[in-house]
Structure 1
Amino acid sequence: MSVRDTLLDLDLSPIDCLYRLQRDQNNARRVLYVNVTDISILPEDTRTSNDELVRELSKIQGWDGDWNTVTVSKLDSQVQCFWNNFEAHALPKENILGQYPFFDVLDLRIITRKKLRVKYVNNGSDGFGFELPWIATEINVYHDLAREESTLAPRLLGYVYEGPERRVIGYLLEEISGRPAALVDLEDCKKALRRLHDLGLVHGDPIRHNIVITDSGPKFIDFEDACRKPSDDSKGWNAMREGDLRKLEKGLMDTSNNGQPRD
């Protein structure tokens, strides 16, 4: 029986780590989740390197078995494993909007990381369970902009899923070409941001790396902090819009690496 595991993603803290791996076994593929509750279980030089991590984890008795999730803990100085003791995460059905196609995450080619969670071809986002509220917010925004036929953001292309049960874990956007916004683009970005406000949305985090300057003008990405216009608070809405514009100017003046994409 041939088994090959590949690290897809990780969420590492000083005390624990959650891993997401792809298993290729007998011409079949699936995603595995490994929750290491005590990071000292793994030697430091194995925690983020694919080959070393897989080599270390494969020492666990039962590793090659039929499982999808496992919690690895240290109890009384002994390492213990709890197989399939938690469910792999999924976006709630009420957050799956519109009639968009679905894409298997294992069919997507990784090309770059636009931010921590954005890393698949055609742009997009997937993540661990704790990130689902942010992903749901972004899906809502991209869907609303699509219904308005707005060109202020990339088009939502569809949903990303895992497993035969098609658990939705993220989304895909159209690929766009451009550069991060700069201070010289301030007036164009202000006009674009006001158009976004006219649609009843504030961006929430309009820093330079969340605005792509394209041949057709500025396009916004990363809507995880976006908010909708309150239905009965015009003063509050005015304050939200003004705050968004102030953040824009401050964000374009900031030449640090805050929010910079990482490959």
Structure 2
Amino acid sequence: MHGKEAVLSFDLEENDFLYRVRRDSRIVHVSVLHGDIILPRERTESSLILSHLRGVPKWYENWTTLTVRKGLDGVIQSAVDEFPPHPLNTKLLDSQTPNYFNILILERLHRISDRVSLREVTTYASLVSRGFCFAPRVLGYVYEEQKDPTIAFLMEYIVGTTPRAKEDFGACEKTI
């Protein structure tokens, strides 16, 4: 039995979900390949996700990645270390002197979104490097057990309002 468990992040597609989970002092990755294994209303709440995953075969074994799927007979199966953890390619980001932070010592204060893409971050980094003052800066990179692979990034939080489509189009166009 593991002591401290928490879902740190998730990436949800229609029928395939990837969860990053803290298990004591380790980070593990779980890929769920069938949409009906975890109900839609339970896919984003840490305690509900974990209640489902704790019933999966091999959950309490020692692994880094776990693939969860249904067999032809409809029974839930799992495979250990079938895929590698997904690193972030920091070479694509323009950062002069990156800071590195261990995810296990960071405290989550507020979640903005789990859906920020590498393309979006690369665009922000490019705008900052060109002197555009309204783009958030990359403050550092987050790793799990070693600095390579890097799994996430920390960005500056900019206070303000989010542009609205029609009302702010002119101001956005002028700014760009």
Same-fold call, TM > 0.5?
yes
CA distance in 1, matches of 2:53, 2:167: 50
Report the CA distance between 1:153 and its aligned residue. Answer: 1.5
Partner of 1:217: none
Would you say 1:191 and 2:145 are equivalent positions?
no
Do the aligned residues in 2 keep the contact of 1:160 with 1:171 (CA within 8 Å)?
Answer: yes
Would you say 1:151 and 2:130 are equivalent positions?
no
**1:160 alignment partner AA:** V
Partner of 1:56: 52
> Could you report, residue by residue, the CA deviation over 1:51-103 in whole angstroms, capped at 9, with x for unpaired residues?
23212321234312221111112223233211011001112353243322122
**2:28 alignment partner AA:** L
Report the CA distance between 1:11 and its aligned residue. Answer: 3.3
Distance 1:166-1:188 versus aligned 2 partners, 3 A rule: same
User: Aligned to 1:41, what secondary structure does the other structure show?
Assistant: coil
Gaps of 5+ in 1: 118-124, 126-133, 194-263
**2:141 alignment partner AA:** Y
Would you say 1:111 and 2:105 are equivalent positions?
no
Distance 1:38-1:178 versus aligned 2 partners, 3 A rule: closer
Would you say 1:32 and 2:28 are equivalent positions?
yes
Do the aligned residues in 1 keep the contact of 2:2 with 2:23 (CA within 8 Å)?
Answer: no
- Count residues with an aligned counterpart: 172
Report the CA distance between 1:158 and its aligned residue. Answer: 1.9
Do the aligned residues in 2 keep the contact of 1:45 with 1:52 (CA within 8 Å)?
Answer: no
CA distance in 2, matches of 1:14, 1:177: 32
TM-score by length of 2: 0.76
TM-score by length of 1: 0.54
Do the aligned residues in 1 keep the contact of 2:100 with 2:147 (CA within 8 Å)?
Answer: no
User: Aligned to 2:77, what secondary structure does the other structure show?
Assistant: strand
Q: 2:149 aligns with which of 139, 142, 167?
A: 167
CA distance in 2, matches of 1:155, 1:43: 37
- Bigger Rg, structure 1 or 2: 1
Question: Cα RMSD between the aligned structures?
Answer: 2.9
Partner of 2:85: 88
Report the CA distance between 1:35 and its aligned residue. Answer: 1.4
Report the CA distance between 1:43 and its aligned residue. Answer: 5.8
Gaps of 5+ in 2: none
Greater helix share, structure number: 1
